[in-house]
Amino acid sequence: MVDEICHICNDKSTGKHYGAISCDGCKGFFRRSIRKRYHYQCRFEQNCDVTRNKRNACRACRLQKCVKAGMKSNAIQNERDAIGKRKKASATEKEDLIDQLVAAETLCQQLRSSVIKNTSSLAPYDCGKVKWNYEDARAATLDDIGKSIHQQLVLFIEWAKSLPQFSFLAQADQAALLKGGAAAMMVLGVAYRSICLKMDNTICLANDTLLSKEQAETVGDINGVVTRIISEIVNPMRRMNMDLIEYVALKAILFFNPVVREINDQNSVETARFAFLRSLQRRCTDKALENMEDEMLECRSGKLLLLLPSLQAIAQQLVEDVQLARLFGLVNVDSLMEELILNEIKPSETQVLQTSLSSPMSTIKAEVEVEE
Amino acid sequence: MVDEICHICNDKSTGKHYGAISCDGCKGFFRRSIRKRYHYQCRFEQNCDVTRNKRNACRACRLQKCVKAGMKSNAIQNERDAIGKRKKASATEKEDLIDQLVAAETLCQQLRSSVIKNTSSLAPYDCGKVKWNYEDARAATLDDIGKSIHQQLVLFIEWAKSLPQFSFLAQADQAALLKGGAAAMMVLGVAYRSICLKMDNTICLANDTLLSKEQAETVGDINGVVTRIISEIVNPMRRMNMDLIEYVALKAILFFNPVVREINDQNSVETARFAFLRSLQRRCTDKALENMEDEMLECRSGKLLLLLPSLQAIAQQLVEDVQLARLFGLVNVDSLMEELILNEIKPSETQVLQTSLSSPMSTIKAEVEVEE
DNA sequence: AGCAAGAGGTCAAAGGTCGC
DNA sequence: CGCGACCTTTGACCTCTTGC
């Protein structure tokens, strides 16, 4: 109370520091000086004024006055551990994983643009979600559904191929992951893309056509797959305001499924899955800290993961729908769909999948055209 | 007297704290770390010196050494009443949730014992898992499968009714949750029960009969549901050494599904789900801290949640199998199974479900006998 | 009643952060 | 790149509860 004045520079003090009543400025200055073992030299007569306004003019005299005022260098402790707090969290190694996924996503977005440019105009995108004001899209036809599924499958393969965790696997395991995850990955993609749509009974397919519940029911969606996608996936995603990073992480976690049918190297897949899981959890806790929504966000990663059971169930139903639709000749099932969605086994020389896996990415546009 | 030295940092100790001889610094550090559930990360090789002067340089290593020295996180008590504090006992509230679930589980185990006592001897149980040395059980017949499913369904309803979060819901929502979750809950129960079986191609049904893959295939398990349960659920559970608390929490999270078909009061269900999710995550971080398996356990709750997508898919396949089996007259489907597993809608006056929901628990034994 | 242990809590003075 | 206003963590020093 009485001693509110810094004994070094007469600024307002913030208490005792290193043995002297001082301000935060002199406190910090003294610590930095001692820590870095600075040896300053006065360019004048060693008697410079050290006051609030002039204290930065001569470091030698300021340090000297710190000592005179009673600051002890042995009160300076060793460096401590970092205390990750304020805004910009330091970029860590784990960021790399996320960055890699975002890069893979971007790549696929670009590929997609080049592939579907023949169909009308491209929808405006925002972080992989179509923009909320994009409503002039045309409604999807049965043909659009087939085409968009095919497109998503092709992009799905390219996406996977761009991930090192995937390409290190044996080709048989690569095929197993692709087959086991295709349907769910498609549903996840469609759901995320549809987050920003204004109409809450509609989803946006991969070729930017819109499919409403009602429409879907007229073209064979007897089990209400579209309805389920909206109520069980899109709406929860909306409510929790899911972002791109969370989407790509969830996608990777879903994809690297160590218990998928026919997998051999479970360990590598599991390792990859858990690495992505850790990234997601890190990112979620970081986000929670930033927004200070402590209680609400502390289990955000859990909430995200809890989208997956529904997703899995819906994907399975979708597969059954496609099987049924084919049975009734409603939909054109190409060989990629047969292999990835319907899990039909083909003689290996005719497998489109195997061809895709071993071909470089540049050929994919051609491949799409061949298929059509 | 001999032990005046802090077992963590070699500073002067002030006695035993949380199970280890330690100084006030390490005491305070440990308490703060556990209370705030900090997750530190070593920036080096996890082998930093933890001595008087360097103890603040790496919190990860310091905390690790606290645990190694014998400090127990369960010795940390709840925050005491601070006069001006507003927060109540949110810490104990979560313990209560888990306790409540364990109580519900125990209750069902007891009910089960009384219900199946007519069939041979009871298997020795350990935390809801049959003991590893229980191998003299008889193999399950087709009839056993039907009976065990029925039993599980009855117990499932009683389990749910014993949870306040469930009984506060409207009856229609109660029915929706039961219908939507029955199959998956059954699979989860069977899987957990089978964790300790020695034979890795066998599961243990609810009436303590054993069902092997091969056997299952001869009685209509064309889709390999048993194989999938083992490889996708039981084995992962084994590998991560899942315990009872994790099981009951996961079960509750699975059950309180806010996006289940026909649900009205999504919010209440979601609130319940997230409360259980928080409990699970809390418990997992606690366990990670205790065992100091930092890296491996930090995403344990995520790993547990990732059992659910497979579970959901298997449950769905199980339902289809049962439908098929009934079609071929292979299995006796009673009305409870029709309502809960096959989701068939009955005129409400004949609904067994509705009867179960409104009857007190004491009548369940009679009910089981009526059904047979 | 008294007292030693070991829980809990407090807050001055260390530390670190990061826009400028 | 250092400065310094502002925030977090530490630990010496208390109080409170429990069991003997």
Write out chain A residues lying below 8 Å of B44, CB-based: none
Is A236–B259 a contact, with Cβ atoms under 8 angstroms apart? yes
β-bridge partners, B136 = none
pLDDT at B87: 37
pLDDT at B46: 86
Alpha-carbon distance of A197 to A126, in angstroms, equals: 12
Is B306–A273 a contact, with Cβ atoms under 8 angstroms apart? yes
Could you give the percent of chain A with pLDDT greater than 70?
Answer: 82
CA A119 to chain B, closest CA, distance in angstroms equals 35
Question: How far is the CA of A67 from the CAs of A7, A17, A22, A29, B157, in angstroms?
Answer: 11, 12, 12, 12, 76
Q: What is the pLDDT of residues B147-156, one digit of tens each?
A: 888 889 999 9
* CB proximity B352 to A under 8 Å: no
Q: Show the tokens assigned to A368.
A: 């799409």
Residue at shortest CA–C1' distance from D11: B25
H/E stretch holding B176 = helix B171-193
Q: Measuring CA to CA, which residue among B257, B212, B160 is closest to residue A236?
A: B257
Could you give the percent of chain A with pLDDT greater than 90?
Answer: 47
- What value does the mean pLDDT take over residues A347-363? 71
What is the distance of C-alpha B163 from the center of its chain?
15
Per-residue confidence at A50, pLDDT binned at 50, 70, 90?
very high
> Sign of the C-alpha dihedral, residues A254, A257, A262, A268?
positive
Q: Show the tokens assigned to A41.
A: 């030299």
* Best B259, B279, B320 residue to mutate vs chain A (most A CBs within 10 Å): B259
* CB proximity A306 to B under 8 Å: yes
Write out chain A residues lying below 8 Å of B254, CB-based: 309
Using an 8 Å Cβ cutoff, are A341 and A149 in contact?
yes
Q: Show the tokens assigned to B296.
A: 């491996």
Is B302–A305 a contact, with Cβ atoms under 8 angstroms apart? yes
DSSP string across B305-339? HTHHHHHHHHHHHHHHHHHHHHHTT-S---HHHHH
Alpha-carbon distance of B328 to B323, in angstroms, equals: 9
pLDDT at A131: 66
pLDDT at B94: 54
Q: Please tell me whether residue B212 adopts helix, strand or coil conformation.
A: strand
Half-sphere exposure of A5 (CA within 13 A, CB side): 8
H/E stretch holding A125 = strand A125-126
Chain B residue whose CA is closest to A79: B57
**pLDDT reading at B212 higher than 50:** yes
**pLDDT reading at B312 higher than 90:** yes
Q: Show the tokens assigned to A95.
A: 């960021």
DSSP string across B69-104? TT--GGG--PPPPPTT----SHHHHHHHHHHHHHHH
**pLDDT reading at B230 higher than 90:** yes
* CB proximity B310 to A under 8 Å: yes
Q: Please tell me whether residue B17 adopts helix, strand or coil conformation.
A: strand
Q: What is the pLDDT of residues A173-214, one digit of tens each?
A: 999 999 999 999 999 999 999 998 877 788 888 777 888 888
pTM assigned to the model: 0.80
Domain with CATH 3.30.50.10 in chain B: 15-75
β-bridge partners, A12 = A5
- Hey, which of A275-284, B30-39, B273-282 has the most confident mean pLDDT? B273-282
pLDDT at B141: 74
CA A259 to chain B, closest CA, distance in angstroms equals 5
Q: Which nucleotide is nearest to A22 (CA to C1')?
A: C13
Write out chain B residues lying below 8 Å of A281, CB-based: 298-299, 302
Is B299–A305 a contact, with Cβ atoms under 8 angstroms apart? no
- What value does the mean pLDDT take over residues B50-76? 91
Question: Rounded to the nearest 5°, which phi and psi values hold at B212?
Answer: -95, 160
Q: What is the pLDDT of residues A252-279, one digit of tens each?
A: 999 999 999 999 999 999 999 999 998 8
Is B299–A278 a contact, with Cβ atoms under 8 angstroms apart? yes
CATH 3.40.50.2020 fits A15-75, yes or no: no
What angle is formed at CA A283 by the lines to CA B249 and CA A177, rounded to 5 degrees? 75
Q: Show the tokens assigned to A191.
A: 């759901």
Four-way CATH pick for A95-358: 1.10.1740.10, 1.10.1240.10, 1.10.3720.10, 1.10.565.10: 1.10.565.10
CB A81 within 7 Å, strand D? yes
CB B24 within 7 Å, strand D? yes
pLDDT at A37: 78
**pLDDT reading at B40 higher than 80:** yes
- What value does the mean pLDDT take over residues B225-252? 94
Residue of A35 and B199 predicted with greater confidence = A35
Write out chain B residues lying below 8 Å of A230, CB-based: none
Domain with CATH 1.10.565.10 in chain A: 95-358
Mean pLDDT across chain B: 83
Alpha-carbon distance of B314 to B372, in angstroms, equals: 27
Alpha-carbon distance of B242 to B89, in angstroms, equals: 28
Per-residue confidence at B349, pLDDT binned at 50, 70, 90?
low
Using an 8 Å Cβ cutoff, are A226 and A249 in contact?
no
Owner of token pair 């034994």: B365
Question: Rounded to the nearest 5°, which phi and psi values hold at B312?
Answer: -60, -45
Mean pLDDT across chain A: 83
pLDDT at B122: 62
Q: Show the tokens assigned to A310.
A: 């529904």
Q: Show the tokens assigned to A89.
A: 């969290």
- What value does the mean pLDDT take over residues B140-166? 88
Per-residue confidence at B371, pLDDT binned at 50, 70, 90?
very low
**pLDDT reading at B347 higher than 80:** no
Q: What is the pLDDT of residues B167-189, one digit of tens each?
A: 999 999 999 999 999 999 999 99
Question: How far is the CA of B188 from the CAs of B102, B181, B292, in angstroms?
Answer: 16, 11, 28
pLDDT at B308: 98
CB A65 within 7 Å, strand D? no
Chain A residue whose CA is closest to B180: A310
Question: How far is the CA of B237 from the CAs of B228, B299, B304, B305, in angstroms?
Answer: 13, 15, 8, 11
pLDDT at B224: 85
pLDDT at B88: 38
Per-residue confidence at B327, pLDDT binned at 50, 70, 90?
confident
> Nearest Cβ partner of A306 from B56, B232, B305?
B305
Per-residue confidence at A90, pLDDT binned at 50, 70, 90?
very low
Amino acid at A229: I
CA of B289 to C1' of C11 (A): 28
- For chain B positions 62-101, those within 8 Å of chain A (CB to CB) are none
- Hey, which of A71-75, A77-81, B255-259, B296-300 has the most confident mean pLDDT? B255-259
Q: Which nucleotide is nearest to A83 (CA to C1')?
A: C16
Q: What is the DSSP letter of A90?
A: P
Alpha-carbon distance of B165 to B365, in angstroms, equals: 24
Residue at shortest CA–C1' distance from C14: A77
**pLDDT reading at B372 higher than 50:** no
H/E stretch holding A203 = strand A202-204
Alpha-carbon distance of B278 to B305, in angstroms, equals: 12
H/E stretch holding A212 = strand A210-212
* CB proximity B354 to A under 8 Å: no
- Hey, which of A218-232, A302-316, B105-119 has the most confident mean pLDDT? A302-316
Per-residue confidence at A344, pLDDT binned at 50, 70, 90?
confident
- What value does the mean pLDDT take over residues B56-68? 93
**pLDDT reading at A316 higher than 60:** yes
CB B55 within 7 Å, strand D? yes
**Protein residues closer than 7 Å by CB to strand C:** A 15-19, 24, 27-28, 31, 75-77, 79-90; B 15-19, 24, 27-28, 31, 56, 75-77, 79-80, 82
Question: How far is the CA of A186 from the CAs of A48, A79, A207, in angstroms?
Answer: 72, 50, 12
DSSP string across A168-202? TS-HHHHHHHHHHHHHHHHHHHHHHHTTT-S-TTE
- Angular region, B81: left φ>0, alpha ψ -120 to 50, beta rest: beta
pLDDT at B358: 77
**pLDDT reading at A370 higher than 50:** no
**pLDDT reading at B299 higher than 90:** no
DSSP string across A63-111? HHHHHHTT--GGG----------SSSPPP-HHHHHHHHHHHHHHHHHHH
Alpha-carbon distance of A191 to A185, in angstroms, equals: 10
CA of A11 to C1' of D3 (A): 14
Residue of B229 and A108 predicted with greater confidence = B229
Is A82–B302 a contact, with Cβ atoms under 8 angstroms apart? no
- What value does the mean pLDDT take over residues B24-41? 88
Residue of A158 and A133 predicted with greater confidence = A158
H/E stretch holding B130 = strand B129-130
CA B219 to chain A, closest CA, distance in angstroms equals 22
Write out chain B residues lying below 8 Å of A311, CB-based: 309
pLDDT at B184: 97
Write out chain A residues lying below 8 Å of B305, CB-based: 302, 305-306, 308
